[in-house]
Structure 1
Amino acid sequence: MAKSLNGKTVAVLATDGFEQSELTEPVKALKEAGATVHIVSPKSGSIQGWKHHDKGDTVPVDATLESADAGRYDALMLPGGVMNPDALRLEPKAIAFIRAFVQAGKPIAAICHGPWTLIDADGVRGRRMTSWPSLKIDLTNAGATWVDETVVTDRGLVTSRNPQDLPNFCPKMIEEFAEGRHGHRHAAE
C-alpha cells in the first residue's frame, strides 16, 4: 500500500469496551499507510478491549480528551463495541470532540456501533450510512439513510457493519482520509 497518509495525524476515539479488531485493524492499516495515530480517550493509562463477549487486550491511551485538540487531527476513527460508544455518548467532551470533526468537514470512519456517537454530535442527518443492524432505527430517526452494505462512503464519512467488513472498511478509510476535508456535512433541511 502506498504511503498515502504520510504527514497526516488521525485520532481514534475510544474507551473501555471497544471491539478489539475494530480498533487494532484500522490502527494497523493507518500506520501502514504512513499516518501518525493517537488513541484518544476520556481516561488516561490504557483502555480495555473486548473480543465479542470476552475481555481482550488493553491498549495504551496517547491523549486524554482533556488534553486533545481536534484541530490538530486530520481525521477521526470511531471503533465499535457496544459499551465503548454507549459510554462515549455520555461524555460531553467526547461529543464535542466528534462534533468538531463533523463541523470542519474532516473525514470520519466509524464501524459497527461506532456511528452511535455521531448521532449525538449531529453528524448523520442527510447522510447515507451503515452500522451494526441494531442502530438502524436510531440512525434513521436521526436523519440518516441506513443501508445494509459492507462499506458505505458519503462525503468523507466511511461506515461499516461489523468486524467481517474490516477488509473493505480499512482501504476505504485510507482513501477518504487521504482525500482530506470534504464539503459541508449536512444536507439541506
Structure 2
Amino acid sequence: MADLTGKKVLALASQGLEQIELTSPREALEGAGATVTLASPDGKEFQGMEGDWEKKDFFTPELKVSEAKAEDYDALLLPGGTLNADAMRLNKDARALVRAFLDAEKPVAAICHAPWLLIDSGVVEGRTLTSYESVAPDLQNAGANWVDQEVAIDGTLVTSRNPGDLEAFNAAIIEKLA
C-alpha cells in the first residue's frame, strides 16, 4: 500500500450521506497515512444513511464548506447519497471547490450520486465518468461519456458507481494521491 503520510484530503458531506461512501474511503486513506477533514455546508452535525432509508451514525464536521480552500488539501472526496448529493450540487462553495481542485490538477473522487456536483460545477463535458446508474442520463446530457464500470479515471478525476465498488474506488484514490 502507498504511504500517504502528510497528505490531506477534504471530504464534503451533509444530511443524507450514504455513510459507507464516506467511512470506507476515509478508513482506507487514514490507514495509508492521510488525514481526512470533513466539511459540511453549515458546519453542523448531520446523520448518515444506508440506502437513503435506514438512519445510521451522526457526523460532526470540522468546518463549513465555505471555510475550506483547495490549496490547503491534496485531494477532494465526494461521497454520495441522494439527499447529500442533491444538497451539495446546490452549494456554490462546493461547486467552486470542485473547480479549484480540478484547476490545480488535484485528485477529485466522486461516487454514486456525487457526480451531480461535478455536473453542476461545469466540469464533466468531454470526460469519461461513471456513477450510480440513475445519474448516467444527467452525465450524458451534460456532455460526459458515461461508462458502466467499477471505477473510471479521467485525468485527476476518479468516479465510481456504488458501495459495491468501494474496494476499487478506495484503491484508485490512494493510487492517484500517491
Indicate conservation of the 8 Å contact 1:129/1:147, yes or no. Answer: yes
Instruction: State the distance in 1 between where 2:25 and 2:59 align.
Output: 14
Structure 1 position 14, deviation (Å): 0.8
Take 2:2 and 2:9, find their aligned partners in 1: how far apart are those partners? 17
Which runs of 4 or more aligned residues in structure 1 lie more than 6 Å from their structure 2 counterparts after TM superposition?
Answer: none
What letter corresponds to residue 40 of structure 1 in structure 2? A
Tell whether the 8 Å contact from 2:158 to 2:172 is kept in structure 1 after alignment: yes
Q: Contact 2:102/2:156 (CA < 8 Å) preserved in 1?
A: no
State the alpha-carbon separation in 1 of the partners of residues 160 and 65 from structure 2. Answer: 25
- Return the letter of the residue paired with 2:17: F
2:28 alignment partner in structure 1:
29
User: Which residue of structure 2 lines up, in the alignment, with residue 182 of structure 1?
Assistant: none
Q: Report if aligned partners of 1:11, 1:75 keep a CA contact under 8 Å in 2.
A: yes
- TM alignment of 1:3-14, pairs within 5 A: 3=3, 5-14=4-13
Q: What 5-or-longer segments of structure 1 have no aligned partner?
A: 179-189
Equivalent pair of 1:17/1:48 in contact (CA under 8 Å): yes
Measure, in 1, the Cα distance between the counterparts of 2:34 and 2:70: 16
Q: How does 1:75-86 map to 2 (within 5 A)?
A: 75-86=75-86
**2:169 matched to which residue of 1?**
169
Shift of the alpha carbon at 1:68? 1.4
Cα pair 1:102 1:121 within 8 Å, conserved: no
Note the alpha carbon deviations across 1:54-79, whole angstroms, 9 max, x for none: 11111120111232112111110100
Percent sequence identity is 51
Q: How much has 1:45 moved relative to structure 2?
A: 3.2
TM (normalized to structure 2)? 0.95
Q: TM-score, normalised by structure 1?
A: 0.90
- Aligned partners of 1:11 and 1:76 also within 8 Å: yes
In the alignment of these two chains, the number of paired residues is 177
Distance, in Å, in 2 between the alignment partners of 1:105 and 1:121 is 15
Query: Considering only aligned residues, what root-mean-square deviation do their CA atoms show, in Å?
Result: 1.1
Structure 2 unpaired stretches of 5+: none
Does residue 73 of structure 1 match 2:73?
Answer: yes
Q: Secondary structure at the match of 1:18?
A: coil
Deviates more, 1:121-130 or 1:15-24: 121-130
Shift of 1:157: 1.1
Q: Equivalent residue for 1:40? A: 39
Find the aligned partners of 1:28 and 1:75 in 2 and give their Cα distance.
15
Q: Give 1:2 deviation, angstroms.
A: 3.5
- Looking at structure 1, the residues matched to 91 and 55 of structure 2 have their Cα atoms a distance apart, in angstroms, of 23
- Give, as a single letter, the amino acid of the residue that structure 2 aligns with 1:156: T
Q: Is the 8 A contact 1:156 1:177 kept in 2?
A: no
